[in-house]
Chain A
Amino acid sequence: MSAPATSPAGDLTTDPVDPRPFIEGTQTDQTINDTLLHHVFRGAGKGWWACFAVALAMLGCLVVALTVTLVKGIGAWGNNIPVGWAFDIINFVWWIGIGHAGTLISAILLLFQQKWRTSINRFAEAMTLFAVMCALLFPLIHTGRPWFAAYWLLPYPSVQGIWPQFKSPLVWDVFAVSTYFTISLLFWFLGLIPDLAALRDSATSKVKRTIYGMLAMGWRGSGRHWAEYKWAYLLLAGLSTPLVLSVHTIVSFDFATSVMPGWHTTIFPPYFVAGAIFSGFAMVMTWMIPARQFLGLKHVVTMRHLENMNKVMLATGMMVSYGYIMEHFIAWYSGNQYEFAQFFEVRQKGPLAPIYWLMIFCNVVTPQIFWFKRMRTSLAVMWVASILINVGMWCERFVIVVISLHRDFLPASWGSYAPTWVDICLFTGTIGLFSTLFLLFLKFVPAVAVTEVKELRHETEHDAHIEASLTAGVTGGSH
């Protein structure tokens, strides 16, 4: 028997393994307000205008491509039998996936009690909204006559008794994505309300005060307001969490419910969800690295935040790799010649094999660098890696959609696929739409949830206070 064991000093405020704080420097509520609201009030700089011009030019591509699509019909795209689905669904899935990081950071990390989320959740939630908007464009225009899309997509009590095909996962997509968008919008806006009130209170002109005042919906920051706000926030977080899973699960059903080689596999739902989070975090990283530099956010979006995000990318990248391993193993194990041919012949050695190998490089090899702390803390490395991961995840959807379709069961029905300039412009255009909206967001709304950062600062201070009083008042004793 040994003597009673004594635990270490029990310091709640400093982490003996990783003492880096989530808010750097000596901060007060005032300094946080000033630094995080500053970029909204200062005039747009040359850099912002330059980026905005590029984004608008790309948005112009979208306008042209949409016009051609609407005038000529979807015959302007490269889709043709056997590749009946191509850029439209690839881009849809890619954009929806990118949106997932926002919901994960704002909802799931909240439920997991991860304090580091406070500096990046606003940013990522905005990304969710804009990404879902880009995504929704594709199912809408792929109908050919989007002005009729509501009749075809939404079930309404038609006198003719015509209903959408409820057995089709494409209809489930409509329900899932529209619910997801609604909840994400509510969640994002609810989180913004206290910050909009702060903007209202510190606005320099009457116009700004009026606009921000209307958006703040009479927020006064009373105890009752905060109590209701906290409940609503937690409730929306709880509702959003299953939505993160359901949306991409149903997107995976678009493929997996069919019998197409390379599509029909039971691991698809969780593997799609992991892939979505993987690409979403990569996109957050791509934007966050320059944004924290130019908006002066380095004291609240610290290297520790970025490192944590890299770890999430490593974890979700490994889950995606697990999915690949299972798919390839079962393609062989099943003894199904079509599955085997798809995975080991067509994808690896076929005419579109470079895209498959690029996918493997970007999604499997690239995240492995994040095992090393030096790589996880290098801005240049993580920025390049995040772009590669985005490329890889787009390639993954290309591999699943196009490579599977262009070599199906019958050699007689095999074909090839090449996108037209309209396809490429549509894709580039959605990147322009996303960038335009995002730059406007960065200009007019606080990019970091100011209230939550202040709350985190108070919590940290409170813990330190308790710690100090315990250390001063308690010597020894038993628990």
Chain B
Amino acid sequence: MTVDVQKFQGGGGWMTKAGALGVVGLGASLAGIAMDTQKALFSYLVAFSYWAGIAFASLILLMIFHAFRAKWMVVIRRPLEVMAATVVLFVLLFIPIVMGMSHLYSWVSPAADMGAEALKLLAHKKPYLNVPFFVVRTGIYFLVAIFLSHRLFGWSTRQDESGDVQLTVRQRSLGAGGLPFIALVISFAAFDWLMSLNPLWFSTIFGVYYFAGSILSTIAILIILTNKARGKDLFGDHVSVEHVHNLGKLLFAFVCFWGYIAVSQLLLIWIANLPEEIPFYVVRFRGPWVPVGIFLIFGHFFIPFGALLSRNLKRTPKRLAVVAGWLLFVHFVDLYWLVMPTLSPDAPLFHWTLVTSFFGVGGLSVAFAIWRMRGHFTLPVKDPFLAVSLRYRQP
């Protein structure tokens, strides 16, 4: 059987538009940082952790697929590889955070009015929470992720030419073998970038929480992409409703997983009510922050859970894409809810750079992904399991 596709050379218009939006958005955000440093930096951190989380989670999902030796997903694997390959871009996009660390993280130069006990605790954490080590750690996170995504993308595209089955074996081995490392990377990245915003607070499950939301968004993007990527040389034309159904099931599973992790953290901290843990929720359960939390409970769990129970919806690409789009939005609200109360504990704060950062970082990510895609097939044309994937049917 043959798959009649050429190497992808399209997407120029989208790449230019996304790139332009990214440059303008990023430029505006940098201007915002110059004008209103702290608010703009916190907004930027929300956008950065949103898009970087998706890049890291794409890599993890790809590696999970390889570790499981999943065959049905071969036809939708290439966009995932490209999304994972965007991780290198975030090295550059991390620079504003490094430059503005003293405005974001109170542990960089603790204020004397924090109290003696807090200062003592921060002194205890100093071997971990210090600027050079923070930067080195983030460098390690990126090195690991870039290495893994580069190898997997490289082997996969090389197979497009050679059809060598051994390249599949290598991808599977690296996928399984690299998972423990990437699991630690995303967990400690969550601790560093997000949890240390409240340096006295801690939660062992926090890394898993960040992962859960990010992988949910990755699957959501994959669903939207699959729906949109139809036309000349694009993989979407080869994706059947059976694949879409599986993506819908994955989305449903990770909606449940996010809910499970969120409840685990909330319930255990709420019920123990310890002074060192509960402030995280006290701030978020108070005053105008309450509606945001309630919105997340319904928007991030109950509404998509109810919608995705429908088999019919999961097998209707356009309707599934609507739920996926909704989840992409609520994940952004989730990260906003994680980050912003540190800066504005009394009420939700909206700064215009939240929009510019979202489109700035996002636009550049999308443009970069399209650029990486160009010159390659949009599906792994010589993967030994492509035929199995194309003929996949629900049992």
Set B1, B165, B256, B267: member contacting A10, Cβ < 8 A: B1
Contact B269 A266 (CB under 8 A): yes
Residues from chain B with Cβ under 8 Å of A335 in the complex:
120-121, 124-125
Selected from B180, B260, B265, B382, the residue in CB contact (under 8 A) with A7 is B382
Docked-complex contact B3 and A478, CB < 8 angstroms: yes
What 1/0 mask marks residues of chain A from 1 to 18 whose CB sits below 8 Å from any chain B CB? 110111111111000111
Q: Which one of A57-65, A136-144, A175-183, A325-333 contacts B?
A: A325-333
Closest beta carbon of chain B to A269's beta carbon, Å: 4
Given A17-B384, A270-B261, A335-B124: A5 touches B377 (CB 8 Å cut-off): yes
**Contact (A6, B204) CB under 8 Å given A256-B268, A269-B264, A333-B125:** no
Contacts of B177 in A (CB 8 A): 371
Flag whether A412 is at the interface (Cβ < 8 A).
Answer: no
**Cβ-based interface call for B350 (8 A):** no
Are A8 and B163 within 8 A (Cβ)? Answer: yes
B276 within 8 A of A: yes
Query: For residue A442, which residues in chain B have a CB less than 8 angstroms away from its CB?
Result: none
A374 shortest CB reach to chain B, Å: 15
Q: Using Cβ atoms and an 8 Å threshold, which residues of chain A touch B265? A: 266
- The verdict on A333 contacting B128 (CB below 8 Å), with A1-B7, A245-B260, A266-B264 known, is yes
Asked if A318 CB lies within 8 Å of chain B CBs, one says yes
Does chain B have a CB within 8 A of A188? no
In the complex, the answer to whether B3 meets A6 with C-beta atoms within 8 Å is yes
- How many A-B contacts if CB must be within 8 Å? 145
Interface size grouping (class) on chain A: 35 or more
Q: Is B95 an interface residue (CB 8 A)?
A: no
Q: Which residue of A lies closest to B71 (CB)?
A: A15
Binary CB contact string for chain B from 131 to 168 against chain A (1 if under 8 A, 0 otherwise): 00000000000000000000000000000100101001
Q: Mark A464-479, 1 if CB is under 8 A from B, else 0.
A: 0000001000101111
Complex Cα gap A268–B272 (Å): 14
Q: How far, in whole Å, are A267 and B268 apart by their CA atoms in the complex? A: 10
Q: Are A477 and B128 in contact (CB under 8 A)?
A: no
Which residues of B lie under 8 Å from residue A245 when comparing CB positions?
Answer: 260
Report B-chain residues with C-beta under 8 Å of the C-beta of A269.
205, 260, 264, 268
Q: Which residues of chain B (39-97) have a CB below 8 Å from chain A?
A: 67, 69
Which of B18-26, B325-333, B385-393 touches A?
B385-393
Tally of contact residues, B, Cβ under 8 A: 59
CB pair B183 A322 closer than 8 Å: yes
The docked-state distance in angstroms from the alpha carbon of A321 to that of B183 is: 12
- B184 close to chain A: CB less than 8 A: yes
Query: A264-B274, A266-B265 are known contacts. Are A478 and B2 too (CB-CB below 8 A)?
Result: yes
Residue of A nearest to B274 (CB): A259
Q: Are A479 and B187 in contact (CB under 8 A)?
A: no
A478 lies within 8 A of B204 (CB): no
**Contact mask for chain A residues 238-276; partner B; CB cutoff 8 A; 1 contact, 0 none:** 000010010001000100111100001111111000000
Chain B residue nearest to A314 in the complex (CB): B176
- Neighbouring B residues of A10 by C-beta, 8 Å: 1, 386-388, 390-391
Given A5-B377, A266-B205, residue A479 in contact with residue B163 (CB < 8 A): no
Q: 30 pairs across A/B with beta carbons < 8 Å?
A: A1-B6, A5-B3, A5-B377, A5-B382, A6-B381, A7-B381, A10-B387, A12-B391, A16-B384, A17-B168, A113-B395, A253-B267, A264-B268, A266-B206, A267-B204, A267-B205, A267-B208, A268-B264, A268-B268, A269-B205, A270-B205, A322-B184, A323-B204, A326-B187, A329-B204, A333-B128, A478-B2, A478-B3, A479-B3, A479-B238
Taking A266-B205, A266-B206, A318-B183 as known contacts, 16 extra A-B pairs with beta carbons closer than 8 A to each other, sorted by chain A number, are: A1-B9, A4-B3, A5-B3, A10-B1, A16-B384, A17-B69, A17-B165, A245-B260, A270-B205, A270-B260, A322-B187, A326-B207, A330-B203, A333-B202, A334-B276, A470-B1
B residues at A contact (CB < 8 Å): 1-7, 9, 67, 69, 120-121, 124-125, 128, 160, 163, 165, 168-169, 172, 177, 179-180, 183-184, 187, 191, 202-208, 238, 256, 260-261, 264-265, 267-269, 271-272, 274, 276, 377, 381-384, 386-388, 390-391, 395
Chain A contact residues, CB within 8 Å of chain B: 1-2, 4-12, 16-18, 113, 242, 245, 249, 253, 256-259, 264-270, 315, 318, 321-323, 325-327, 329-330, 333-336, 371, 470, 474, 476-479
